[in-house]
Every structure is written in C-alpha cells, then in structure tokens.
Chains A and B, each alone.
Chain A
Amino acid sequence: MHVTSKDFDEKARAAIADDQLQMGLFVFGKIFPLMRDAKAAELPEFEGLRDSARDIKTNVLENLGTYLDAFEARAEEAGGRIHWARTAEEANSIVERLCEEVGAKDIIKSKSMVTEELELNDHLIDKGYSVVETDLGEYIIQLRNEKPFHIVGPALHLNAGQVSDTFYEAHKKHGRTEKVEDKVKLVEEARIVLRERFKNADVGITGANFLVAETGQIVLVTNEGNADLTATLPKRHIVVTGIEKIVPTLDDLSVFLRILARSATGQDTSNYVSLYSGPRRARDADGPEQFDIVLVDNGRTDMLGTPVEEMLRCIRCGACLNSCPVFSTVGGQTYGSVYSGPMGAVWTPALASVSSAAKLPNASSFCGKCEEVCPVRIPLPSMMRHWREKEFEAHLTPSGQRWGLGMWAWLGKHPSLYRAATNLAGIGLRLISKGRSGKRLATWLPFIGQGWTQSRDLAVPQEPTFLSQYKEGRRR
C-alpha cells in the first residue's frame, strides 16, 4: 500500500482553499450524518443492534481460527477454492495465476477496499490484463487515475462537470462523441459502456462485505447491482477479501445487514444484498464455472492481541468519515491513503507503518463523534491515541512538538516555575490580544504558537488564574 500521508499538511491547505471541493464537502458532512441519524431513530432497537454487532465481532476475533477453518470447509464443500495470502504480493500473484489459468484478457471488478489496499489493479494491468471497475464512483476515479475519496463514495468530491469531462475523453474510443452533462445521462452513458464489458469479461473480481462461517457464503452489498453482474456473468469469479470479514452465522449476519446501510448511506437496506457460494451447480442455468476466494492477511494478524485489535471489527460503513470534522474539512484525498478519516487514521498505520502514516492519528480534533456513530462501537479516539504514543516513542513527532512537550513536562515537575511561567504567559497573551464580544482573542502568537494562529484565534484565559483563585480560597 503506497501511502503519501507525509504531505497531509500541504494537501489539507490546498483542500481548504478549493472552493468547489468545500461545497461538496459541506453537503456531504451535513446530509449524510443527518440521514444516518434519521434512519437510526426510526429503529428503536438500533443501539441494541450495535451492542450485538460489537459482541459478535469480539467473539469472532477471539475465535478467528475456528471460524475461518469452518468457513473454508463449507466453501470447499460448495465447490469453491480457498487461497491464503500473507501479503499484498502474495495475494496479487494468486489472482494473477487464477486469471492466467482461464486464459483471461478482460477483467471486470466491483469496488473493494481490500484490492485498493493491495493495489491489485496496477499489478494486473502491468501484467497486460484489461481491468475495469464497475462501481460507478470507482469507475470514474479509475478513469481519472485517482485514489478513492471516501470508502463508500469514491468519487463524491467531483461535480457533474468534471465527470462529464472525464467521460467525454474516455468514451470517445467507444464511439461516443457527444458530450453529456446531465447526471441521468452520465449514468446512462456509463451503463452503455460498462454493459459491453460485463457481457464480454472472462473474469469477475469482487470483494466481500462479510463471510459466513456457518454456510461458506460470501456476502456482497451494493446499490448498483454491479457486484452481482460481476459475480454471475464471467467464467470465473474471484473473491478477494480480508480474513477479518467473517461472521459466524446467518443470524449474526442479519445484525450487520440492519446496521450497515443505515450507518453508511441512511438507507433501510442496500438494494442488492447477495450471498454466493461456489461455482454454478448442475441444476443452475447460469453462474461462473470456477469460484475462488483469496483470504488476505496483509497485516491483520499483526493487530490481533494488540491495543488496535478492536479495529478489526470495522465493517467499512464510512459513518466515522461522514461525522468527522477533519474529514469534512479536508476530504479524503488529503489523507494519502485508501483508508481515510478516523478509521483510516487507525487502519493506515497498522497496515502500512506508523512512520509512513504518523500525520493521520494527529489529524483529529478528538471530539469523539466517530466513536459515537461507529455501528460496531470501535473506540476510535483511544486507538488514535495509541498510535500517537507509538509515534512519540519512535521519535517521529515533529521536533517543535517534542521540544514543547518536553518543556511542559519539565515545568510540570517544578511547580513554582510552572506558576511563574503560566502567569507570565497570561500577561503576555493579554498584552497581544484584542477584545471581541466580551472575549479576548489572540490573533497572532510568536514562535511555535504561530502555527495555531495562522488558521484560528486563541481564546485568552480569564483573569485571575485558577491557582491564584485557589490560593485565595475563592473556590466555587
């Protein structure tokens, strides 16, 4: 997984200055959370379902081996083949080999974050295959050679005009010479072009939202139905997914189906909820001749038994992104990783490395909104804090911050100096501050304080200080 999170600051600045993006983000950061809240409120049992979902996933992580073993056995009984991959390289070469086996040329793919993480498309395209994404959002960003903006809406940062330009260029070779701008017509154009790909592809690659241990089924949840076409029409269906996607039984699956769409897009249900197991059977009129499942580790087992184990409960609903004030200010591209927002701040350091993603756990206001909406109750802020500690231990924190914190700690150990310094700072702040509607605000700070006042004002503490009030016994 290529991570460019080091450039977070510069990209954030550019994103904040991008008016078109800001408009999109506004709609997004306001509407999606509202829809989620409305749908959650319609279901009185929603909070109880979240508890159940958390408990089921905890049970899964404690018994991962047993459930994976059972899943494998059931999936093989149904005629599927299971492949295990430790790393991205291993996963990519398994998929490549499977495509080679059937002499494939044209591959269609439905959106899957795991394959984004593996950079599977690049690998297959390098080997000479044609790979086309079929989820509309994913198709658009594939044509534009971008990373997904959001795990649920990969192209939601673009407006119809940008999509129109992209299609106009890309579809010329399909004989479409007219430029369309209307959203309905843009969808229609993609439908026409992708239809031909669906009908002619040799291999279909999908991810899986869930794996059911009880029955060996893989579960796909979409609104477009593109995953179903991908799973049904080509000769071979290859499923690429993470080992943490397992749920024990169909009854357990129901719990997740009831919270996933509500948390993600504020729908009661996604349009297509499909369970697949194995290749076509003797009595089937259609379906793939071969069915392969690639179960990917790629860093997941390293998280087991650690303070970030709970992150493996994640069902990629995106609710934490939608509710995050940082994500809805800077957008997904800024994070430089396929996983963005609060969930990305925990996933990216775990799957890539703390050093390459040090900025992400810091890109948080720690307001706790993400944890509040997470359907599987992942304590996201405390996991980000864990990575921050790791980052500090590994001396990855910027020197200014380290120096400041060191100074603070030293002062903390010397109470009289601490008091003198805070008094002095208070006086200094009041000197440079301006009064505004009853509050005093500092609009300019020296030294490392500059970083703060460049983008916001600092509220100056009221007099007298807590300690001097305390001394005078003016406690309230």
Chain B
Amino acid sequence: MSDARNAIFAKIKAADAKRGNASPAAAKARLETPPPQLVPAMGKPAAADALDLFIAKAIELGCTVADCPSFDDVPAKVTAYLNEQDSPLQVMLPMDEDLSSLNWLQAGLTVSAETSRQALDGNTSVTRAIAGVAETGAVAVTSGAKYPVSLGLLPDRHIFVLKVDEITGGYEDVWRLARNAKDNQGVARAVNLIGGPSRTGDIEATLVMGAHGPRTVHIVLIGPTS
C-alpha cells in the first residue's frame, strides 16, 4: 500500500471517529444489493408510451428517425438516408453478424470493415445499439467487437440500428442490461449513452452541431412503429 493511500485513509478514519455515523456493514450491503432510488414517471413510461416518447425525445436531441419493417430492409433505408444527405454511398460496419449478413451491395452501398482512424474519419458508420432510452431519447451502446467505440465517434454520420423492442424506459433499464452483460472483468469497458450529434455551446452560448463527433445521428427503427 502506498504512503499516500494510508495517509488519506487515516484522515478519513479520523473524521469518521469524530462524526460517528459511519456504517461499513450497511455501506457494503448497499453495494451488494443496490437499493432502488426515486425514479421519476418519465423514467418508467408505460410500455405503450415508451416508443412515442423515445422518438419525440430523440428528435428533440437532433436525431432523425426512420421506420424500417425488418432487418433485411436496413440497407435500402441507409441508401435512402445517404442520398438525402447527399453523401457517398459507403458505410463502415463493425464485425456484427446482424449487420454484416445483410445485402448491402444490392442496395448500392460499398461496405468497409476497416476501423483505422483515417478510414473512419469523415465517413458513415452503421452500428447496433443495446437500447433506446425513452426518458432522454439517447441510444445506449456497449464496447466490444460488435461496437468499436471509435466507430461512433470519428465518422461524420452515425446510423444506429435499433429494434422497437429494444426501447427501454430510463437509466435503470440500461444499468440492468449492463449488469446482466457482465463478464469476469465486470461490465463492458465502455457504456455510452449517446444523445444525438456532438454539439457545443461554448461560443456566445450559441448551440452549434458537429463539435468533435458525428454531425448527424440517424436511427433506423426496426419493427412496427405504430
């Protein structure tokens, strides 16, 4: 143990003795079985409302959303979006079965699985998310082979593929998914909640999109949306 660590803990102990409210057993128990906290109604919408709420909030955050009947239709939806954006018909994909097995060529798209910084910079990426959060409109992703974090950060356009039944209520639902997905090293290295395009308000408090990360975030939503 380092001297610094010992010294810091000694001071904490001294304060505990003075105050007399420390309860190590209760604190440990809290970590083992996290007690639920106050969850606002917004964070636990009725199942029937979650989808509409998610879409409304995501749009508020500056995302665009497209309906898509099934996985097979994703490439066509991506082509339509890129044409609308006047962007090259090329997409960067992660090593994800869900996505790589689709017929991108047929939809007129070139596909690349390259993940070098240079290759990603300025391009379009398509990734899968673990959840859409109705409370805020953010999309949740976790790092791994299927989602290299830089794929969601370096390209100019980021397209999420999300299933309607992956839409959850609030933060608590994301934590539940993250805890369930734990491996022997704990939860995924990165859990990111992404609420639309990168933005800044640092110059004269004026909102400007496209600060460092994607300038646009598009959500392709699979399943019956009405």
Tell yes or no: B39 within 8 A of A by CB: yes
Q: Which of B76-84, B102-110, B187-195, B218-226 contacts A (4 or more CB under 8 A)?
A: B187-195
| Binary flags per residue of A144-182, CB closer than 8 Å to B gives 1, else 0 | 000000000111101110010000000000000000000
Q: Mark contacts of B58-98 with chain A using CB atoms, 8 A cut-off: 1 yes-contact digit, 0 otherwise.
A: 00110000000000000000000000000000000011000
From A62, A163, A250, give the contact of B19 (CB < 8 A).
Answer: A62
CA distance A66 to B121 in the complex (A): 44
Residues of A near B150 (CB, < 8 A) are 229, 232-233, 286
Nearest A residue to B211 by beta-carbon distance? A224
B37 sits at the interface (CB 8 A): yes
Kindly name the residue among B95, B121, B151, B195 whose own CB sees the greatest number of chain A CB atoms within 10 A: B195
Given contacts A183-B206, A199-B117, A271-B198, contact A285 B94 (CB under 8 A): yes
* CB nearest neighbor in A for B196: A271
B165 part of interface (Cβ distance < 8 Å): no
- Total contacting residues, chain B, CB less than 8 A: 88
Structural contact, A64 and B12, CB atoms closer than 8 A: yes
Whether the Cβ atoms of B28 and A277 lie closer than 8 Å is no
Q: Whole-angstrom distance between the alpha carbons of A228 and B138 in the complex?
A: 16
- Cross-interface CB contact of B200 among A224, A268, A275, A284, cutoff 8 Å: A224
Q: Which residue of A lies closest to B42 (CB)?
A: A43
How many whole Å from B163's CB to the nearest CB in chain A?
Answer: 22
Q: A251 touching B36 by the CB < 8 A rule?
A: yes
Stretch at the interface among A2-10, A45-53, A112-120, A415-423: A45-53
Task: Point out the residues of chain B lying under 8 angstroms from A163, CB to CB.
Answer: 203
Q: A52-B37, A302-B11 are in contact. Are A276 and B94 (CB under 8 A)?
A: no
Once bound together, how far apart are the Cα atoms of A386 and B210, in whole Å? 45
Chain B minimum-CB-distance residue to A42: B42
Given known pairs A187-B210, A272-B192, the reply for A301 and B11 (CB within 8 Å) is yes
Are B185 and A275 interface neighbours, CB within 8 A? no
* B202 and A135 contact, CB distance less than 8 A: yes
B208 and A184 within 8 A (CB) = yes
* In-complex Cβ contact of B198 among A224, A275, A302 (8 A): A224
Hey, which chain B residues are within 8 Å of A377, CB to CB?
none
Tell me the complex Cα distance, A225–B26, Å.
37
Contact size class for A? 35 or more
- Quick check: B4 and A228 within 8 Å, CB to CB? no
B16 touches A65 (CB 8 A): yes
A96 within 8 A of B: no
- B residues near A286, Cβ cutoff 8 Å: 115, 143, 148-150
Q: How far is the CA of A331 from the CA of B137 in the complex (A)?
A: 34
Are B185 and A250 within 8 A (Cβ)? no
**Contact B195–A272 (Cβ < 8 Å):** yes
Q: A21 contacts the other chain (Cβ, under 8 Å)?
A: no
Interface residues of B in 103-161 (CB under 8 A from A): 115, 117-118, 121, 136-138, 143-145, 147-151, 153-154
Give CA–CA (A275, B130) in the complex, Å.
15
Instruction: Give Cα A232–Cα B186 distance, bound, in whole angstroms.
Output: 18
- B203 in contact with A271 (CB, 8 Å): no
Q: Is B180 an interface residue (CB 8 A)?
A: no
Q: What residue in chain B is nearest A51 (Cβ atoms)?
A: B38
Are B11 and A228 in contact, with the CB atoms below 8 A?
A: no
Residue in A49, A231, A252 whose beta carbon sits within 8 Å of that of B34 in the complex: A252
Partner of A49, one of B7, B40, B170, B186: B40
Is A213 located at the chain interface by the 8 A CB criterion?
yes
Q: B138 — which chain A residues lie within 8 A by C-beta?
A: 269, 273
- Shortest Cβ gap from B217 to chain A (Å): 10
Min CB gap B140→A, angstroms: 9
Contacting pair B115 A281 (CB below 8 A): no
Nearest CB in chain A: distance from B151 CB, A: 8
Q: Counting CB contacts under 8 A, is A74 at the interface?
A: yes
Contact B193 A137 (CB under 8 A): no
Q: Does B101 sit within 8 A of A, measured CB to CB?
A: no
Would you call B194 and A271 a contact (CB within 8 A)? yes
Report yes or no: B202 in contact with A274, Cβ–Cβ below 8 A: no
Q: Write out the residue numbers on chain B whose beta carbons fall within 8 Å of the beta carbon of A188.
A: 210
If A232-B153, A286-B149, A301-B15 touch, whether A276 touches B34 (CB-CB below 8 Å) is: no
Q: How far does the alpha carbon of A32 sit from the alpha carbon of B50 in the complex, in Å?
A: 30
Q: Is the CB of A225 within 8 A of B189?
A: no
Best-buried of A24, A66, A140, A195 by chain B (most CB within 10 Å): A66
Q: Are A276 and B189 in contact (CB under 8 A)?
A: yes
List A residues 199-257 near B (Cβ within 8 Å). 199, 213-217, 223-226, 228-229, 231-233, 243, 248-255, 257
Is the Cβ of A74 less than 8 Å from the Cβ of B186?
yes
Q: Do A223 and B211 touch across chains, with their CB atoms under 8 A apart?
A: yes
Closest to A141 in B: B202
**Segment at the interface with B among A82-90, A358-366, A368-376, A405-413:** A82-90
* Contacting residues, chain B, for A280 (C-beta < 8 A): 143, 189
Among A275, A279, A305, contact of B15 (Cβ-Cβ < 8 Å): A305
Interface centre among A28, A74, A257, A285 (most CB of B within 10 A): A285
Interface: A124 (CB within 8 A): no
Hey, what's the 0/1 contact readout for A254-292 against B, CB within 8 Å counting as 1?
A: 110110000001001111111111111101111100000
Q: Which 7 A-B pairs have the closest CB atoms?
A: A304-B15, A285-B148, A305-B15, A225-B213, A249-B34, A137-B202, A301-B11
Given A154-B202, A297-B11: 6 more A-B contacts, CB < 8 Å: A199-B121, A217-B187, A232-B149, A254-B43, A275-B178, A287-B149
What would be 25 A-B contacts, judged by CB atoms less than 8 Å apart? Answer: A27-B205, A65-B13, A68-B12, A77-B186, A83-B2, A86-B7, A156-B205, A183-B208, A191-B211, A224-B211, A249-B34, A253-B175, A254-B170, A272-B193, A273-B138, A275-B191, A277-B185, A280-B189, A283-B145, A285-B143, A286-B148, A286-B149, A287-B149, A302-B11, A305-B14
